[in-house]
Amino acid sequence: MLDVARAAAIEGLVQAGVDFVSGLPDGWQRDLHEAIEHDERFTYVPVCNEGVGFSVCAGAWMGGRRPVLIMENSGLRVAAEYIARISLGTGVPVLLLLSYRGDIGETEHWGIPHGIVVEPLLDALRVPYQIVRDPSELRQGIKRAQRLAQAQLHPAAVLVSGSCIWDD
Amino acid sequence: MGIDRYEGLSRLAARLPDDALVMATYIGAVSFEWAHLTGEHPRSAHLGQMGDVIGMAVGLAIALPHRTVVCIDGDGSVLMELGQLVVMGQEAPPNLCVFVVDNESYESIGWGPGGVRRPTATAGRADLAAMAAACGVPYTATVHTVEQLDTELELAFSAPLCRFLDVKTQPGNAKVPPRQTDGFEDKYRFVRHVERTEGRAILHRAEQDRQLM
């Protein structure tokens, strides 16, 4: 993630009132995880898989925190089990911030399946999402996704790609 | 052979501090039994399913470090997502105590002629307390008797320490009525209880409507 995008993401999370972060670091958002870990405005709980991360976020929300799950879009497949059980089943909002591997511009072959699956899977889970390919849209995108998640008591997602990742 | 589960749960219910919060499974008769024993008090969230109860309890305990958080889960559910033990050992919130009601079977799916249940891996070589200890959970134990359970309950609520207790229970359900609420109602009841007892807003507030007032 480019520095400008990372800064915008953090500003967006703070302005959205997010104070609890779980997730699994990936190649694109590694720096973001590191910045959040050292930022006192957030409680950071790294996990070994995104399903556990989603459950931890859901529990934190029930305790009054405002969580975000930061992960690669591949992690959505892992988290889907608990997005379905907890959010579709009981109505719990968790903001999702995903790297959009396999999007236009992808360089790595292994990212292709992640791109194929992510949007149909978000639709299957009834998670509204915004794809942000310009860092100037990232702060607002995160704030607005959080507003929607809180209003609908269901997750909403921001996917980052394009000029948030590449300066080409 | 384990303890009678209803007896074990009744001892936990009797010892539970009034201001504790409980993240419990809603799967199976254990949920009916716990609800019956506690009068469906909203301090218990019957929101856990398979593989998410401990994860949610860890998040809840971190969010509310001044509250005692108890987790009640089944062996099949814990086995479904062992990564929960990793985060439990990693964070080790001292206000969290996990009780696994371990009947070594998938009992909520029913049983065949003669009462034969489908076993879980804890009927074999899988040892949940050992797994939790290997993940760094500070205090772990496998409980086999009522006397041992009483001792663990005394310890659990006398000093804050992150604990994982694998309580071996006998198969079979107490004859109590099934619960009648769904997950959405259970979520609202629990979160409203947290809001009231913490004096904070968690559920959504309608911004546009507020401007009318």
* DSSP state string for B149-188: HHHHHHHHTTS---EEEEEEB-S-----PPP---HHHHHH
**Pick from A43, A47, A91: CB nearest B83:** A47
Check residue B210 and give its pLDDT: 77
> Does residue A115 contact residue A102 with C-beta atoms inside 8 Å?
yes
CATH of domain B5-210: 3.40.50.970
Task: Give the residue from A20, A48, A85, A90 with the most B CB atoms within 10 Å of its CB, the best one to mutate.
Answer: A90
The reply to whether ipTM tops 0.90 is: yes
> Does residue A63 contact residue B195 with C-beta atoms inside 8 Å?
no
> Does residue A65 contact residue A13 with C-beta atoms inside 8 Å?
no
Check residue B169 and give its pLDDT: 97
Distance from B162 to chain A by nearest Cα, in Å? 16
Q: Do B84 and A52 touch (CB under 8 A)?
A: yes
Hey, which residues does B163 pair with through a beta bridge?
B97, B139
pLDDT in tens, chain B (213 residues): 799 999 999 999 999 999 999 999 998 899 999 999 999 999 999 999 999 999 999 999 999 999 999 999 999 999 999 999 999 999 999 999 999 999 999 998 888 888 889 999 999 999 999 999 999 999 999 999 999 999 999 999 999 999 999 999 999 999 999 999 999 999 999 999 999 999 999 997 777 777 887
Is B20 in the A-facing interface, judged by CB distances under 8 Å?
no
Q: Do B183 and A89 touch (CB under 8 A)?
A: yes
Residue A67 has pLDDT above 80, yes or no: yes
Q: Which domains does chain A have, with CATH numbers?
A: 3-164 (3.40.50.970)
Q: Do B60 and A62 touch (CB under 8 A)?
A: yes
Chain A residues at the B interface, defined by Cβ less than 8 Å, are 20, 22, 43, 45-49, 51-52, 54-65, 67, 81-82, 85-86, 89-92, 150-151, 153
Q: Which residues 6+ apart lie within 8 Å of B111 measured at CB?
A: B117, B118, B171
Q: Which residues 6+ apart lie within 8 Å of B151 measured at CB?
A: none
A52 HSE (CA, 13 A, CB side)? 23
Alpha helical stretches, state H, chain A: 3-15, 30-37, 50-62, 74-82, 89-90, 112-124, 138-152
Beta strand pairing status for A129-132 and A156-160?
A: parallel
Is B22 in the A-facing interface, judged by CB distances under 8 Å?
no
Q: Do A43 and B87 touch (CB under 8 A)?
A: no
Rounded CA gap, B174 and B118, in Å? Answer: 19
What is the pTM for the complete model shown? Answer: 0.97
**Pick from B45, B186, B198: CB nearest A64:** B198
Check residue B213 and give its pLDDT: 78
Mean pLDDT of the region A133-148? 98
Tell me how far CA of residue B160 lies from CA of A112, A151, B3, B97, B187, in angstroms. 47, 36, 25, 9, 27
Q: Do A86 and B198 touch (CB under 8 A)?
A: no
